[in-house]
Structure 1
Amino acid sequence: MSVKIKNNTETEEFHNVKFLLTSSMRTLILVVLYNDSKNLNEIRDELQKPSATILHGLKELEAANLLKKDKKNYSLTSNGYLLATNIIKLINNWYSLERHKTFWNNHDISGIPEQYMNKLYLLKDAQLISSTTSDLSNAFNTYMQLLENSRDIKMILPIYSENHFKYLIKLLKEEHLKHMTILISSRIHKKMRRSRYLKKTLLKNKKVTIIEMEKNPKVFLTFSEDFMTLTLFFKDKHYDDSQMIIEKSENGLRWADGLFKYYEGE
């Protein structure tokens, strides 16, 4: 995300963010006051910093109209609350990236639109599952186990995979899956139509909804009411099924639903 500066004058938003990020104390005070007002002693107990240092930060934030004092209690102004919200998102985004930085650094993330990269904080509790030399199918088997316990799934499918198709068909036949929606590229859809087996078992299955897209997104996303998984491509364009992000929180499911709807509307 770029910050536009006109005539060498900082925008108010840029100035406020710079004002906070150049002082860890100002940032910490905003975060501490985010959910509730507190007095000096309560702030000091949480931050474990000297009163003089905290008071200096409080006065700076009050002068910037980011917090206010009512008797002995300090609380955020509307501007302070909005800025604190964005700072917390930034911190959580950084945490999400750092927690699984090998996964993000080693893969092509161009299939994740900017607005969803900016919301990676929603995946801050995600688990990374990796296959190993002793268990090459660990990620794939974990994925299949998640599917077995699902009744309704949605999927962005960027690859033509016989293994995935066979397992999905098995789940449909055994009544594990009640409905499935798959977003696929026109190229993959065309290839599936050439297979009599896939045409009969998937494409003409009343439990399956196929949505065709012109382009092929570089993300393999699956989610249900209970989980979401994400696998990506290596930067050399080869699909990687050895590492998978799993998230089961409400925030993670919301992120997955948004990404799915983004491509559904393409």
Structure 2
Amino acid sequence: MYLEKSSDIYEYLHEDVQFFLKSAARFKILLSLLESPRSLEEIRNSSGVSMPAVYSNIRLLLEEGLVKRSGSLYSLSHEATLQILSALKLLDSVNVISRFEEIWLDHDISGIPDDLIEDIDWLKDAELVRSTPTDIYRPQRTYRKLIMGSNEVYGVSPISQMDLIDIYEGFLEGGVPVELVLTDEIIKNTVLNANIQLLKTAIKRRSLKIRRFRGDLKVAFTVTDRFFSMGLFGSDGLYDQNRDIMSTDRRAIEWGFRLYEYYRERSEKLGVGNFTRIMLNI
């Protein structure tokens, strides 16, 4: 699919995008006009581009049909608006790939569907939280700090995180809705280490919903109304507990909800009866 589009993509990048990306002044002018129509003086003040550069580049942009003039105001054409937004998406994607290079290069990203890989720019304001020699629990500590105060919690996990069970028990005791997609093995481990009566009560009250995923999960993540956190398996097949991508940015949270919905649709809801049967197989 991508190979079939390669020539069209190359032509677009080489001709259209290159025209405004190869000149910093031109790109700044277009970004200024993306916000709103402006006069030449307003363009200069908002972009920081000198007036001679504004004059020369506006002339070129008018000739290319990327900018329109109405009286003393200049604005982007519809085509230019689409091109600039596409260029910004591309630049944000490159930025995310570059900043999290150590994750993409030596981790298994097969658990992230293609449509979300294509929208990886939504994570542009996320941070890579790493363990350090003097703070080996930094990812876990940051996770605890950011998840507190959430009003709804959703998670997908192929690993047992016993050190976080108390957080989820606290949410359930406080009536916060929690929905988890787990494998049978993780469900069993949770039962062995959590307050079983609390789990049963929460399931009956519908404040806890556990969904069963049949198969291998290649990604672990949590998304709430307040933050998003994601961890991956290394290329060696072991889960990397030392690095998590985290964000409180609204766009990253939306990306996380889309990822959760992907796994939710591929899992099955467990009632108390199914839950009990899994417990009996421990």
- Give the TM-score of the pair, scaled to structure 1: 0.80
Deviations 1:149-193 (A, max 9, x none): 3342100112244444x43564256x1452211122xxx325634
3-state SS in 2 of match to 1:69:
strand
When structure 1 is superposed on structure 2, of 11-20 and 126-135 the one drifting more is 11-20
When structure 1 is superposed on structure 2, of 250-259 and 215-224 the one drifting more is 215-224
**Other-structure match for 1:230:** 230
Q: CA deviation at 1:35?
A: 0.8
**Other-structure match for 1:155:** 155
3-state SS in 2 of match to 1:75:
strand
Q: CA deviation at 1:194?
A: 8.1
Structure 1 unmatched runs, 5+: none
CA contact under 8 A between 1:150 and 1:177: conserved in structure 2? no
Deviations 1:19-65 (A, max 9, x none): 33344443332212101112222323344444444333323322332
Q: CA deviation at 1:12?
A: 7.6
* In 1: Cα distance, 2:221 partner to 2:153 partner: 10
1:50-61, aligned counterparts within 5 Å?
50-61=50-61
* In 1: Cα distance, 2:97 partner to 2:138 partner: 23
When structure 1 is superposed on structure 2, of 9-18 and 20-29 the one drifting more is 9-18
Structure 2 unmatched runs, 5+: 267-282
* In 2: Cα distance, 1:139 partner to 1:264 partner: 25
Alpha-carbon RMSD across the aligned residues, in angstroms, is: 3.2
**Other-structure match for 2:170:** 171
**Other-structure match for 1:123:** 123
- Give the TM-score of the pair, scaled to structure 2: 0.76
Q: CA deviation at 1:247?
A: 1.1
3-state SS in 2 of match to 1:135:
coil
**Number of equivalenced pairs:** 260
1:107-122, aligned counterparts within 5 Å?
107-122=107-122
Q: CA deviation at 1:263?
A: 2.3
CA contact under 8 A between 2:34 and 2:81: conserved in structure 1? yes
What letter corresponds to residue 96 of structure 1 in structure 2? V
Deviations 1:76-125 (A, max 9, x none): 11111122222222223333343444444443333223332333333322
Between the aligned residues of both structures, percent identity stands at 25
What letter corresponds to residue 177 of structure 2 in structure 1? H
**Other-structure match for 1:254:** 254
* In 1: Cα distance, 2:149 partner to 2:18 partner: 47
